Amino acid sequence: MLHSGSKASLLRIMTIGILSFVLLGSSVFTMAPAMAASPKVKTWAIPSISYIGDGRDQIIAIEAQLESGNHVIKIRVIVDEGTINERSYEFRSNGTVLKPDVGFKSVECKEKRISDGYSIGKGNVKCRLHLDKTTFALGTHPVKVELVLDIGTFTDTTKFTLKGSPSGLADLVNKAFTAPSTARRGHTYTTVVTEKNEGAIGAGGHWVQVYLSGDAARDSGDKVVGQKYVSHIGKGATRVLSINVKIPNGYPLGPEVFISYVDSYDIIGESNESNNQQNKPTNITS
């Protein structure tokens, strides 16, 4: 049997051993290298399947996630790579065109960065390349996007398919729109959009969005405040959509315009692209 003094000595030895193990483990875990993050790029075709004679552009959408210090040298889009019909389009992350090719119409890009004032922080780049699909042959066209950075090249792929014009197309019409005439910052309201397909065929999945705008024309500077996804709308069918909209806390005060837009990402090939929008004036208050 141990005396009280021996017990105290043994307890001190055990305590020191445990603390040494904890400190050793801590140093081991501290020395383990953290997994390095890397930039990423994602691309998709809008629409992925469409009719060559529907009057709409073929859009290649690109979104890139950048890590701290990444410098974008250029973005390259290659269509039909390795074939006699290969086309290549190059531009900077601010939308400056470096190399157009057959079928090029325009490109818009936005780059956002988080910076501490001393170094280039993380950020993202979003671009939309518009192509004239009437310059492409019918069939499926593979697309490769290359994000060229100072540390290397990162890629992603997609494809789009062009079909000949059918006997008719869908026609999504924004028949009616209700929205509040006065709206307060930070509050949520219900708007109602009535959508009808007056075309010859049904329409697949698409978004209906509500914007706040300084004028009656929808553009890239408008704020999306509400949206709803429509999975399908048949020929001749009507859908009444309740869409909640939230007014941002910091939104400018005064006269504004609510804009509702059916098929806001231009996914559906339509016989008439000019009847997708409805407007309602409003006044933003605090």
Q: Are residues 151 and 181 in the same domain?
A: no
SS3 content of the chain, % helix, strand, coil (to 5): 10, 50, 40
Q: Residue 122 has what pLDDT?
A: 86
CA pair distance 75, 223, nearest whole angstrom: 27
Q: Residue 12 has what pLDDT?
A: 52
Per-residue pLDDT reduced to its tens digit, 116-163: 666 677 889 999 999 999 999 989 999 999 999 999 999 999 999 998
Q: Average the pLDDT over 168-176 and give the result.
A: 91
Sheet strand arrangement including 277-285? 182-184, 277-285, 254-262, 206-213, 223-230
Q: Residue 269 has what pLDDT?
A: 78
Beta strands in 80-168 (DSSP E): 87-91, 97-99, 104-113, 123-131, 139-149, 152-163
Domain presence at residue 2: no
Look at 146 and 11; give whichever has higher pLDDT: 146
Look at 243 and 221; give whichever has higher pLDDT: 243
- Closest by CA to 192, choosing from 181, 182, 178, is 178
Q: Average the pLDDT over 188-212 and give the result.
A: 95
Helix (H) or strand (E) holding 78: strand 72-79
Q: From the centroid of its chain, how far is CA 73?
A: 21
Q: Cα–Cα–Cα angle for 128, 131, 133, nearest 5°?
A: 140
Q: Residue 27 has what pLDDT?
A: 36
Q: Are residues 216 and 270 in the same domain?
A: yes
Q: Residue 271 has what pLDDT?
A: 80
Look at 1 and 259; give whichever has higher pLDDT: 259
Among 37-46, 47-56, 57-66, the range of highest mean pLDDT:
57-66
- Give phi and psi for 26, each to the nearest 5: -65, -45
Q: Are residues 58 and 153 in the same domain?
A: yes
For residue 3, pLDDT over 60 is answered with no
Placement of tokens 């059916």 in the chain: 262
Q: Residue 154 has what pLDDT?
A: 95
Q: Are residues 230 and 208 in the same domain?
A: yes
For residue 23, pLDDT over 80 is answered with no
Token pair in block for residue 129:
């390349």
The pairing of beta strand 104-113 with beta strand 123-131:
antiparallel
Look at 196 and 123; give whichever has higher pLDDT: 196
**Mean pLDDT estimate for the chain:** 86
Q: Residue 171 has what pLDDT?
A: 92
Q: Are residues 81 and 132 in the same domain?
A: yes
In the chain, the percentage of residues whose pLDDT exceeds 90 is: 66
Q: Which of 138, 163, 188 is the last residue of a domain?
A: 163
For residue 55, pLDDT over 60 is answered with yes
Q: Residue 267 has what pLDDT?
A: 83
In this structure, is the dihedral angle defined by the CA atoms of residues 217, 219, 223 and 226, taken in order, positive or negative?
Answer: positive
Q: Are residues 127 and 199 in the same domain?
A: no
Q: Are residues 59 and 147 in the same domain?
A: yes
- Give phi and psi for 160, each to the nearest 5: -135, 150
Q: Which of 127, 143, 163 is the last residue of a domain?
A: 163
Q: Whole domain around residue 139: which residue ranges?
A: 40-163
Burial class (CB in 10 A: 0-12, 13-18, 19+), 95: middle
Q: Which of 163, 192, 219 is the last residue of a domain?
A: 163
- Closest by CA to 243, choosing from 183, 173, 194, 174, is 194
Q: Are residues 228 and 269 in the same domain?
A: yes
Q: Residue 247 has what pLDDT?
A: 97
Per-residue pLDDT reduced to its tens digit, 31-51: 333 345 689 999 999 988 888
**Total residues found in the chain within this entry:** 286
Q: Residue 169 has what pLDDT?
A: 81
- Closest by CA to 161, choosing from 268, 52, 269, 82, is 52
Domain presence at residue 6: no
CA pair distance 190, 262, nearest whole angstrom: 17
Q: Residue 35 has what pLDDT?
A: 42
What number of other Cβ atoms are within 10 A of residue 56's Cβ?
Answer: 19
